[in-house]
Amino acid sequence: MLRVSQPVKKILVPLISIILGFLVGAIVMLIFSYSPMQAYSSMLRGALGTSSAIGETLRQATPLIFTALGFSVASSAGFFNIGLSGQALAGWIGSIWIALAFPNLPTYILLPLAILVGALAGAITAAVPGVLRAFFGTSEVIVTIMLNYVVLYLSTYLMQNIMPKSFRTSQDATQSISAHASLRMSWLSDLFGGSRINGGLFLALIALVAVWFIMKKTTLGFEIRSVGMNPFASEYAGMSSKRTIIMSMVLSGILAGLGGVVEGLGTYQNFFTQTASLSIGFDGMAVSLLGSGSSVGILLSGILFSVLKIGGLGMQTGAGVPFEIVNIVVASIIFFVAIDYVIGLLFKQRQTRETEQIATQKTQTSTTTSSDIPDNQEKKGGRIS
């Protein structure tokens, strides 16, 4: 057993999870007689080997950072926003719609407008579970899962039946947006060997700082975190938990919506029929869980997961290993993050006087009045009622 301090443990648990996740992937590959070394090295080459590969990896990280930030904001308030993919999809189709409707507006009007509308679409989609949770106590887990599918079917319907026909090239895809609405920057694409990297990356970096600022330095952020820790105490202290619940979901939806916007205006430049929930939704959730909700953590784990995703394609062509091994590794990493309690058992925490006191207090309260204190499981949003 290792003796470590609390902050070191906070870093060690995700690191060990990552190592174990890759180990699981290697074992699966060995069982089917693929070579893990060859696979992982061609993965690294595929993700970071050329300047265009690095560009694609950064491009992939962009929406993941947004959706992960969205997840982390909601979970600071004690909510599980599983609706990230629906909110991102709403943002995607919303921004493309505006871009196609006003193709000739100058860039400095059209681009912000399209981004704003996309963010708004995400916010509205997320506000629904927020309002239902605040006023009816409806589990946001179920509502967001259900809304993912509603938005999925609705997006296809909107594109095929409501959008003017001139916006589409076929039943399954829209026209490409005009250059006025594009997030692509020619100097950036040239720098990274013509990859699809775009200005969304800068937006994502700004969002990382902005979310850190909002959560740590503003009243709203303080209220969100405080409601997440103890809704009853916050209410008693004069905060409106209803307002905070809705605001946190709206903020979360804006960020997820922006994730969709950068996919639309940056990566694909159009909208096309989606047959399943956007993968950036659940991947973003994974990024946030691995990064334990902090801005630096999200940036690093966002890059790690996009290395996996982009490198996975290189691995498939380079080493002949099916791409799906990447998602097995991702799922395993999150599994190990989820059972951090077990991984934490490996370390003995170095106890300072302060933590010792808290620890004794904790054991006292948990043995005597565990039924009287508000159930702190509730804040994880897992309660279905």
What does DSSP say about strands 347-349 and 168-170: parallel, antiparallel, or unpaired?
A: unpaired
**1 touches 347 (CB < 8 A):** yes
Q: Which is nearer to another protein, 223 or 283 (CB)?
A: 283
**Which residue, 84 or 250, has its beta carbon nearer to another protein?**
84
Name which of 145 and 173 has its Cβ closer to another protein: 145
At its nearest, how many Å lie between another protein and the CB of residue 39? 12
Nearer to another protein, 192 or 282 (CB): 282
Do 140 and 130 touch, CB atoms closer than 8 A?
yes
Amino acid type, 138: T
Residue 239, both tokens: 């905060």
d(CA 320, CA 200): 32
Least distance from another protein to the Cβ atom of residue 311, Å: 15
* Spatial separation of the C-alpha atoms in residues 38 and 33, rounded to whole Å: 12
Report the SS3 class of residue 144: helix
The DSSP annotation for 320-344 comes to ---TTHHHHHHHHHHHHHHTHHHHH
**What's the min distance (Å) between Cβ of 295 and another protein?**
21
As given in the structure block, the two tokens for residue 302 are 């966002």
CB of 109 to another protein, least distance (A): 33
Count, in order, helices (H) and strands (E) of the chain.
16, 4
Question: Residue numbers of the site for another protein (CB under 8 A)?
Answer: 28, 32, 80, 82, 132, 136-139, 141-143, 145-147, 149-150, 153-154, 156-157, 161, 275-276, 282, 285-286, 289, 322, 324-328, 330-332, 334-335, 337-339, 341-342, 366-367, 371, 375, 377, 380-385
**CB of 294 within 8 A of CB of 216?**
no
**Shortest distance, position 32 Cβ to another protein, whole Å:** 5
Query: How far are the Cα atoms of 102, 257, 287, 290, 339 from residue 333, in angstroms, in the given order?
Result: 44, 26, 10, 8, 10
* Smallest separation, CB 246 to another protein (Å): 15
Which phi-psi region, left, alpha or beta, contains residue 238 (left: φ > 0; alpha: ψ -120 to 50)? left
Q: What spatial distance separates the first Cα and last Cα of the chain, rounded to whole Å?
A: 41
| Contact indicator for 256, 81 with CB cutoff of 8 Å | yes
Closest separation in Å from C-beta 36 to another protein: 14
Q: How far is the CB of 145 from another protein (least distance, A)?
A: 6
For another protein, the closer CB: 182 or 274: 274
> 294: helix, coil or strand?
coil
Cβ closer to another protein: 194 or 382? 382
- As measured in angstroms, the least distance from the Cβ of 52 to another protein is 26
Distances (CA, A) of 385 to 140, 227, 248: 10, 19, 20
